[in-house]
Amino acid sequence: YLDDMLAKSDYATASEWLQTLYSTPDKVADLPRNLPAAQRQTLLSAALRRWAYKDTEAARKWFDTQSKKQGLTDAALRERAGTRIAWYSTIRGVEANRQWLDDWLTTHPDTSLVAQRARRTVIEQDWDALNEWVMRLPQEERNDSRWLYWRARALESTDQPDQARELYQQAAQQRNFFAFLAADRLGEPYRFSEQKHTPAATFTPPPAVTRIRMLRKLDEPYLAHQEWMWLMWHSNKEQLAELADYALTQKWYDLAVQASIQAKAWNTLAWRFPPAYLPLFEEEAKPHDLDPWLAMAVARRESAFNPQARSPVGAMGLMQLMPATARKVAKDANMGKPTTKTLQDKHTNITLGSRYLAELLEDFNGNRVLALAAYNAGPSRVNRWLENAEDGVPADVWIESIAFRETRDYVQAVLTYRALFVGMHDDQPRSNQLLTQEENDGLYSLTMLDKD
């Protein structure tokens, strides 16, 4: 498409070279010298960015020794190329680039890159270096429970238990995965920090609520959701709070969660984590000896309890099942072939999603960390990640080392959501809910897949 547009323009040669360098970026030294200077420098930078992906070490060497000689002198373009090389050097742990990387981060203190460098010390369990890199982060990030926890782990691993305990206590004040991990290290209960809402005596549902109720009864949940979102956009914070509470009383769970998000009511946990469809989750969990709270936590993360949810890649329903996965699970269960409509039925979706989650747990010997990672990223990727941990690493380190940020966040969120559900609705202690002893004590490597 671009070739046709650029064929008779001043960019024709540059367009051809852009395609060449995308497939073979190591040909960057052959770039014609007679190209306009701005075009040539842009192509040099683009080639290095692509080369960084294909061969990070080679790209770094050429950037260091040849790029200026070849004419890449524009400061902004050099920054773009160097930052990309530094990024892949960090997340891939390219040892040959390590000294260059650390020097680069000293003169180019990009926060996201420094955070990845600190994460690299966790993955490598380089506890002596961890604090140095964390302390290069902005104060706000350093005070997040994630980095408080890892600094405490480093201190604990270098025989400084008193200092570690102090940081664990700071981390445990928050409400997230690492805060709960810190609380478990201390043997203390989780801090939910929940706020209660007292409904206003004068609240009267607006007319839009009547339309929403009618649409839901007419089996038009998509239109009802659109109507609800329109109402959210035209309500102030106080009205949003009343609507969230009203939706919860009506058991419109997905609408309650949406209202809590619009109201930024992060501490009103009753709206954010309602016991949505609990009888269905319990019913479908029993045949598989599955924890219904875990399946519910998956649904909360996947769809915020919206049965009509559909992802850009086609995952559907409460538990966001891909159609191919749903068909396979349904076939194994001797169920009819699922359709778009049936996958948006909460009963069918919970049935298939619970069965699939139970299958993954069986494949990974009951380990929820691995099963959840597989639910998000696929079993084959989890096997590769375990293979990379050759000698075995602790559970928290393995979770931090998951290559995909989405999957790292997913595993942490689902386990945290489950702890919140159990603590709020199951009358269980608000402690030691995050990881089982077996999940926490084992070293993560391929040996975990040994059925014996």
Domain CATH for 225: 1.10.1240.20
Phi, psi for 354 (deg, rounded to 5) = -65, -40
Same domain, 334 and 406: yes
Same domain, 413 and 344: yes
392 located within any domain: yes
171 located within any domain: no
pLDDT of res. 98 = 97
CB 412 within 8 A of CB 172: no
Tokens of 264: 């930024």
From residue 404, how far is each of 112, 171, 237, 400, 421 by CA, in Å?
15, 24, 35, 10, 26
Low-confidence ranges of the chain (pLDDT < 70): 451-452
Same domain, 442 and 299: yes
Same domain, 296 and 392: yes
pLDDT of res. 451 = 66
pLDDT of res. 452 = 57
364 located within any domain: yes
Same domain, 301 and 399: yes
Same domain, 260 and 371: no
Q: Is 437 exposed, middle or buried (0-12, 13-18, 19+ CB in 10 A)?
A: exposed
What one-letter code names the amino acid at 231? Answer: L
| Block residue for tokens 């929940």 | 194
pLDDT of res. 30 = 92
Nearest to 201 by CA among 232, 245, 260, 139: 245
* Total structural domains within the chain: 3
Same domain, 256 and 296: no
Q: How far apart are CA 56 and CA 248, in angstroms?
A: 52
pLDDT of res. 206 = 94
pLDDT of res. 250 = 96
Same domain, 373 and 282: yes
73 located within any domain: yes
Last residue of a domain, one of 242, 270, 298: 270
Residues with catalytic function: 302
pLDDT of res. 141 = 95
Same domain, 347 and 388: yes
Alpha helices in 145-220 (DSSP H): 145-157, 161-171, 177-186, 207-217
From residue 126, how far is each of 122, 158, 392 by CA, in Å?
6, 10, 15
Last residue of a domain, one of 216, 250, 270: 270
197 located within any domain: no
113 located within any domain: no
Q: How far apart are CA 81 and CA 157, in angstroms?
A: 37
184 located within any domain: no
Last residue of a domain, one of 241, 270, 299: 270
- The boundaries of the domain holding residue 65 are 2-108
Same domain, 250 and 366: no
pLDDT of res. 320 = 96
pLDDT of res. 13 = 83
pLDDT of res. 4 = 79
Same domain, 263 and 288: no
pLDDT of res. 438 = 94
379 located within any domain: yes
pLDDT of res. 15 = 85
Tokens of 449: 């897949």
Tokens of 327: 């068909």
How many CA atoms lie less than 13 Å away from 37 in the CB half-sphere? Answer: 4
Same domain, 287 and 397: yes
